[in-house]
Amino acid sequence: MALALKLAARGVGCTSPNPMVGAVVVRDGYIVGRGYHRRYGGPHAEVEALRQAGSQADGATLYVTLEPCNHYGQTPPCTEAILAAGIRRVVIANSDPNPHVAGGGAAYLQSKGLLVQSGLLAKAGSRLNEAFFKAMTIGQPFVIAKAAASLDGKIATRTNDSQWITGAPARTWVHRLRHQVDAILVGVGTVMADDPQLTTRLPRGQGKDPIRLVLDSRLRLPLNAKVLTQISAAPTWMVCTPSAPSEKITAIQELGAEVIITPAIENRVELRTLLKILGERRIQSLLVEGGAEVQGAFFDAGLVDKFHLFLAPKFIGGRQAPGILGGLGASRLAEAQLAHDLSIRRIGEDILISGYLTTPAG
């Protein structure tokens, strides 16, 4: 199963809105087939592994990271392929999180006389597909906050000079992260200050661009901004409130971008409504790279699931220099959001701290 999980991870950034899945066929103690879901619409992991195993799949055990599908989607049901191959035992890491189909594949295989076991390395499997699991159960994207700061927590100098706080290895890591997510979000202030591309730029042109979202309640963004004019396979979605002028909406649409209008709260985009809209559009993972106010708004609303914080080995200082989080923040320490399952690693000269968040009930 550990090998199956490792195989599944090879599909990162390419399978959404499907999950990453890996499969291994074992007969008489030997691996005779392996496979993984390479891209959305392509063969599922079970099918790849069974094809490689060929006739040796007859009477074998199939290890698969997610419950085999028992319905027609982009491809035929994997359960039928498993039965046709002669598999006798199926070991599953995670049941299907979709409440409408959960357990259906396992139950069907059991009804046909196969031995089915579930739960092996289940935690690792759910972490691998954490965005897919949230989308299937909550109907909203998994929100990842990413920031880069100095050791004293500043994301720019007092004159708003911010390029670059981190070194080249850290920036390459971030581009790999962009490839992995469905969408990336910033505020209009970041776009007006830095004019970013918000694309994936990896060596040899590898990686896909995420959908670009810009929060801009009154559509102040210049029409020559890179997010509106660059060539990319991924679209740009401008998110505004009803106060945005209709002529600016039309001008942005004529440039090929989409305009999403949400209700306003204190003249700002209502984030919970936006996440529901994104969920309906099958966006499973959202990377928030916005400035301090956008990050603060997501944290204030308790909408961040995971974070990546880069700390560069430098001190910026200054009362006017912006910090990592703006917004309202906690009034009492008891209200602070608690980080857990932390990991710390060195990337170049920078330190990357990653973890998950728990929002206190009080």
Q: ∠ CA 94-97-102 to the nearest 5 degrees? A: 90
Q: Is 289 annotated as a binding residue?
A: yes
- Structure tokens, 6: 């490792």
Q: Is 61 annotated as a binding residue?
A: no
In the chain, how long is the greatest CA-to-CA distance?
70
DSSP at 182? S
Q: Is 190 annotated as a binding residue?
A: yes
Rounded to 5 degrees, φ, ψ at 188 are -65, -30
Q: Strand pairing of 236-240 and 285-288?
A: unpaired
Pick the closest to residue 155 from 302, 41, 322 (CA basis): 322
Q: Which residues pair with 357 in a beta bridge?
A: 339
Give the separation between CA 334 and CA 16, rounded to whole angstroms. Answer: 37
To the query of whether residue 46 is one of the catalytic residues in this protein, the response is yes
Q: Is 291 annotated as a binding residue?
A: yes
Burial class (CB in 10 A: 0-12, 13-18, 19+), 353: middle
Please say whether the beta carbons of 312 and 165 come within 8 A.
yes
Pick the closest to residue 143 from 152, 161, 130 (CA basis): 130
Q: Is 69 annotated as a binding residue?
A: yes
Pick the closest to residue 262 from 247, 246, 277 (CA basis): 277
Q: Is 297 annotated as a binding residue?
A: yes
Q: Is 295 annotated as a binding residue?
A: yes
Please say whether the beta carbons of 260 and 217 come within 8 A.
no
**Catalytic residue, candidates 46, 80, 280, 335:** 46
Give the separation between CA 79 and CA 83, rounded to whole angstroms. Answer: 6
Q: Is 78 annotated as a binding residue?
A: yes
Q: Is 293 annotated as a binding residue?
A: yes
Q: Is 354 annotated as a binding residue?
A: no
- Structure tokens, 128: 């691998």
Q: Is 44 annotated as a binding residue?
A: yes
Show Cβ contacts of residue 113 under 8 Å, excluding neighbours closer than 6 positions: none
Show Cβ contacts of residue 81 under 8 Å, excluding neighbours closer than 6 positions: 46, 47, 50
Q: Is 218 annotated as a binding residue?
A: no
The H or E element that residue 84 is part of is: helix 78-85
Q: Is 350 annotated as a binding residue?
A: no
Q: Is 296 annotated as a binding residue?
A: yes
Rg of the chain over all Cα atoms, to the nearest angstrom: 23
Q: Is 201 annotated as a binding residue?
A: yes
Annotated binding residues for NADP(+), as ranges? Answer: 148, 164, 190, 194, 217, 291-297
Catalytic residues: 46
Annotated binding-site residue numbers for substrate? 162, 178, 198, 201, 289
Numbered residues of the known binding site for Zn(2+): 44, 69, 78
Tell me the binding residues: 44, 69, 78, 148, 162, 164, 178, 190, 194, 198, 201, 217, 289, 291-297
